């Protein structure tokens, strides 16, 4: 059952991401840079390095959590890891819960470490995990950090999903105290609010990945796995990535941004809204399943090149400098800020 589910997720996620990304409407379009024609710097002054969970990442981009647990998803993990290695990107595996249920699936996850031996690798589990399970998966991957995903919306849509979430805060604290590597808590595409991030800051985690709405929609994926689609009205639930970044700014944790990042300009916008780095899942998955590691290496190389170009024209030599750029927030995002009292 679980194995089929992992293959279903890939198939349905790829279907969501086929076609051009650039034209999809997004609240990222409500983030405009005030253009200053003399602000530009020199390309050779741009330094893409960023600091996350106490480590320096060579670029402010990463391949976010997706998969593992079946033969097919193991091959996807291998190809993602090759692309991460060739471009220097950090990478997260998908949830290791299939491994905890069946240790025979280990290789479908450890392939990531094998193909990216010196890279920043993140293991991933849900917030039901015990400290002992967290230590096991971190050890298996020699992981540099552990992502814990919060997915109450997805679980609710799944008939077989969890219905008890009240123990999550205590579980996160127990894991963070025991696991020995930084813990990064993330959503799976419904966004983390400022209140949630402030709560996480009190639980001992190192960073929060807001993983907002706008890209892969797990309500749609789970509805797509059965004919009834009982919770069709939950599709589109949550905070967009731009909304979540604004809501969670100054909530006490370093932020990572993912969810619906369509192109390098969205990545630059997310960095300008305060993210330390920007992750992508569905778009990179679609590229790697269609064209293998070479296609993903080409795409990421283009993203890095254009990120550098955009920072040059904006006069921001480092990712952190982007936070000083003057922004105009328009449309739905402006309305969101007004209602949330964000200035």
Q: What is the total count of residues that contact ligand FNR (CB under 6 A)?
A: 27
Window 274 to 293, contacts with ligand FNR (CB under 6 A): 280-283, 285
Binding mask 120-159 for ligand FNR (x = CB under 6 A): ----x----------------------x-x----------
User: Any known ligand binding at 151?
Assistant: no
Closest distance to ligand FNR from the beta carbon of 343 (Å): 28
- Segment near ligand FNR (CB under 6 A); pick from 61-69, 78-86, 224-232, 293-301: 61-69
- Segment near ligand FNR (CB under 6 A); pick from 131-139, 253-261, 300-308, 322-330: 253-261
Does residue 39 contact residue 248 with C-beta atoms inside 8 Å? Answer: no
User: Any known ligand binding at 324?
Assistant: no
3-state secondary structure the chain: CHHHHHHHHHHHHHHHHCCCCCCCCCHHHHEEECCCCCCCCCHHHCCCCEEECCEEECCCEEECCCCCCCHHHHHHHHHHHHHHHHHCCCEECCCCHHHHHCHHHCHHHHHHHHHCCCCCEEEEEECCCCHHHHHHHHHHHCCCEEEEECCHHHHHHCCCCCCCCCCHHHHHHHHHHHCCCCEEEECCCCCCCHHHHHHHHCCCCCEEECCCECCCCHHHHHHHCCCCCCCHHHCCCCCEHHHHHHHHCCCCCCEEEECCCCCHHHHHHHHHCCCCCEEECHHHHHHHHHHHHHHHHHHHHHHHHHHHHHHHHHCCCCHHHHHHCCEEECHHHHHHHHHHCCC
Binding of ligand FNR at residue 67 (CB under 6 A)?
A: yes
Closest distance to ligand FNR from the beta carbon of 161 (Å): 14
Binding of ligand FNR at residue 66 (CB under 6 A)?
A: yes
Closest distance to ligand FNR from the beta carbon of 213 (Å): 9
53, 61, 65, 138: residue in contact with ligand FNR (rule CB under 6 A) = 65
Binding of ligand FNR at residue 211 (CB under 6 A)?
A: yes
User: Any known ligand binding at 111?
Assistant: no
Is the CB of 64 or the CB of 77 nearer to ligand FNR? 64
User: Any known ligand binding at 6?
Assistant: yes
- Segment near ligand FNR (CB under 6 A); pick from 6-14, 159-167, 244-252, 325-333: 6-14
Q: How far from chain centre, in Å, is Cα 252?
A: 19
- Segment near ligand FNR (CB under 6 A); pick from 27-35, 65-73, 170-178, 333-341: 65-73
Window 163 to 192, contacts with ligand FNR (CB under 6 A): 186, 188-189
Closest distance to ligand FNR from the beta carbon of 4 (Å): 13
Indicate the annotated binding residues for Mg(2+): 155
């Amino acid at each position: 059952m679980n194995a089929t589910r992992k293959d279903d997720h890939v198939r349905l996620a790829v279907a969501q991401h086929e076609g051009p990304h650039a034209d999809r409407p997004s609240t990222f379009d409500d983030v405009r840079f005030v253009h200053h024609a003399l602000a530009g710097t020199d390309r050779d002054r741009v330094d893409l390095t960023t600091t996350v969970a106490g480590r320096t990442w060579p670029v402010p981009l990463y391949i976010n959590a997706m998969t593992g647990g079946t033969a097919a998803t193991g091959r996807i993990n291998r190809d993602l890891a090759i692309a991460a290695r060739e471009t220097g990107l950090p990478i997260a595996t998908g949830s290791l819960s299939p491994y905890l249920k069946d240790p025979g699936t280990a290789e479908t996850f450890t392939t990531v470490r094998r193909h990216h031996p010196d890279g920043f690798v993140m293991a991933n589990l849900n917030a039901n995990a015990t400290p002992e399970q967290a230590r096991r998966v971190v050890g298996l991957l020699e992981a540099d950090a552990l992502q814990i995903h919060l997915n109450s919306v997805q679980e609710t849509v799944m008939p077989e999903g969890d219905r008890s979430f009240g123990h999550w805060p205590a579980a996160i604290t127990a894991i963070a105290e025991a696991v020995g590597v930084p813990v990064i808590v993330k959503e799976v595409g419904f966004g983390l609010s400022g209140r949630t991030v402030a709560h996480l800051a009190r639980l001992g985690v190192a960073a929060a990945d807001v993983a907002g709405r706008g890209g892969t929609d797990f309500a749609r994926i789970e509805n797509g796995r059965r004919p009834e689609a009982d919770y069709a009205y939950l599709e589109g639930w949550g905070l967009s990535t731009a909304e979540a970044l604004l809501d969670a700014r100054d909530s006490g944790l370093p932020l990572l941004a993912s969810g619906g990042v369509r192109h390098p300009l969205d990545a630059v916008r997310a960095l300008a809204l305060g993210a330390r780095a920007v992750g992508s899942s569905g778009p990179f998955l679609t590229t790697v399943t269609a064209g293998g590691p070479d296609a993903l290496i080409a795409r990421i190389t283009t993203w890095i090149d254009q990120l550098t170009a955009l920072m040059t024209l904006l006069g921001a030599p480092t990712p952190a400098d982007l936070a000083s750029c003057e922004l105009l927030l328009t449309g739905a995002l402006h309305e969101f800020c007004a209602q949330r009292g964000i200035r």
